[in-house]
Chains A and B, each alone.
Chain A
Amino acid sequence: MNVVQITPFQLSLAYLLLIFPAAVILWYGVGLMKPLLVGAVRMTVQLLLVGLYLQVIFNYNNPWVNLLWLGMMLIVADVSIIRRCGFRLKRFAVPMFCALTAGIVIPLCVFVGLVLWKPNLLDARFVIPIGGMILGNCLRANIVGIGRFYQDIRKDEKLYLQTLAFGATREEATRPFMADAFQAAMAPTIATMATIGLVSLPGMMTGVILGGANPDTAIKYQIAIMLSILCGTAITVFLAVQLTARKSFDCYGVLQKDIFAD
């Protein structure tokens, strides 16, 4: 494939793009300069390391190593979601991990096994980048979904308790909150899907085109990945809320405050 190579010098020119955001930050005097610089450095170091790592993993291409890599990605996503939403890790780590795993494995099997028709489901070339794309979107959706579900119940505690007091079971009382959380989590993915190609050329399609494939192939990959992302986010958000809810309410249906880290 005709991939245009980027030399270290050429890459360093890309950092010129930081000048404008840095200038605006300085001009407004907002405290974003340090996070911007730390973020840029972290991104560079992390991606360089991951690049080296992936090179080894791709060359080795051992299913168990690939599985281990996927597992590590899941653990990092698991911890990130729980920390970001302000929950106690101990309370949510296992159910969230299960939700994420289901949300990755199902669309991955369909994408790699059925769409690409690859018998080796754990081929590094597919499982790691495609898994990563689905997982990244699941992470974003879950931060919105699960965060919204519990914050709303805490914020609207009076409404929730009033519902229980009018005879609703815990499942009936939490259902509207679950529906709202699901809607909030899924809306960005659905909106992206509706405008894709018109507003943006998404990452995978760009990557496939830059990798030398023709746009026709790139579009097919993009359609498959969008459907995988949609399915993965729906599964993880649904399961994350359902599975964590089992451990988050006491036997009287009241939300346990100790799920929150603050």
Chain B
Amino acid sequence: MKSVSPAIDVQALCLGFDKPLCTDVTFSLEPGAKVRIEGRSGSGKSTLLRCLLGFVRPLSGQITIFDKPLTPETLGAIRSRMAYVTQEPDLGTGTVVDTMLRPFSYKANTHLRPTDKDIQDRCEQFFLSRELLTQKIATLSGGQKQRIALIIAILLKRDIILLDEPTSALDAISKVAVAEHFYRTDQTVVWVSHDTTAFDKAGHVISLDIACSQEVVL
């Protein structure tokens, strides 16, 4: 039987700035895997996600996404297979619908432009009213912005979704709706959270507190 290439393969990754935050992080995620990353504050959870996107250089180690090592040459192809949502997403200015459609004006995403119905259905799924679409993004609450960013990530139809505390500002019902969506999806989902109840049905938990030589293959 032909073996499936890992969606994310991280080998002996050492993350940090002046001094290492975590060392020897090794894991391999098959397509569709759901994993929650946990660890104390400053253990490198967010840095790990930023590293997967090439925003931060690891001190050592290697990252491979769908058989492509993360390098400047492969960066465009790799980023076009990922979506990333942060705890406090900064989505710029303009109306909500303008903000939602902006990523689809980028060359890599033009073919993915959603219909009005796609947008409205997703808003409904995450308890956002249609009226919200014409509001200025600056007037939205933190929780509403998180859901807008999550909807954009979903509409981009990426293979890998990187989520950094994506439900920290959400009420319990919305949290469940978001978590349920990402459990059901066939995308690979990496969910960083302090909250042990968030995304608690994830296939596996990687703790960066004990990440040294931890090998996880999903």
Contact = CB atoms under 8 A, between A and B. Distances in A.
Partners in one complex: yes
Interface of A: 156, 158-159, 161-169, 172, 176, 251-254
B88 A167 contact: no
B54 A167 contact: no
Contacts of B152: 166
Contacts of B82: 165
Given A168-B103, A251-B72, A254-B55, A162 B156 contact: no
B204 to A, nearest CB: 24
A20 B84 CA distance: 58
A166 B103 contact: yes
Interface in B153-170: 153, 156, 162
B108 A167 contact: yes
Given A158-B90, A159-B90, A252-B55, A166 B106 contact: yes
Given A167-B108, A254-B55, A162 B84 contact: yes
B84 A167 contact: no
A251 B109 CA distance: 21
A126 B184 CA distance: 73
A169 B53 contact: no
A90 B74 CA distance: 30
Contacts, number: 66
Given A159-B92, A166-B106, A169-B76, 15 more contacts: A156-B90, A158-B86, A161-B53, A161-B55, A162-B86, A162-B89, A162-B91, A164-B79, A165-B79, A165-B162, A166-B152, A168-B106, A172-B106, A252-B54, A252-B57
Nearest to A161: B55
Interface string B72-113: 100110011011101011111000000000110011110000
A162 B90 contact: yes
Interface of B: 50, 53-55, 57, 72, 75-76, 79-80, 82-84, 86, 88-92, 102-103, 106-109, 149, 152-153, 156, 162
Nearest to A173: B106
Given A162-B91, A172-B107, A252-B75, A167 B86 contact: no
A36 B91 CA distance: 44
B156 A164 contact: no
A159 to B, nearest CB: 4
Most buried by B among A156, A161, A167, A251: A167
Contacts of A162: 84, 86, 89-91, 149
Nearest to A252: B54
Nearest to A158: B90
A158 B107 contact: no
Contacts of A254: 54-55
Nearest to B89: A162
16 contacts: A156-B90, A158-B90, A159-B90, A163-B92, A165-B83, A165-B162, A166-B102, A166-B152, A167-B109, A167-B156, A168-B103, A172-B107, A251-B72, A252-B55, A253-B54, A254-B54
Nearest to B158: A167
A68 to B, nearest CB: 42
Nearest to B82: A165
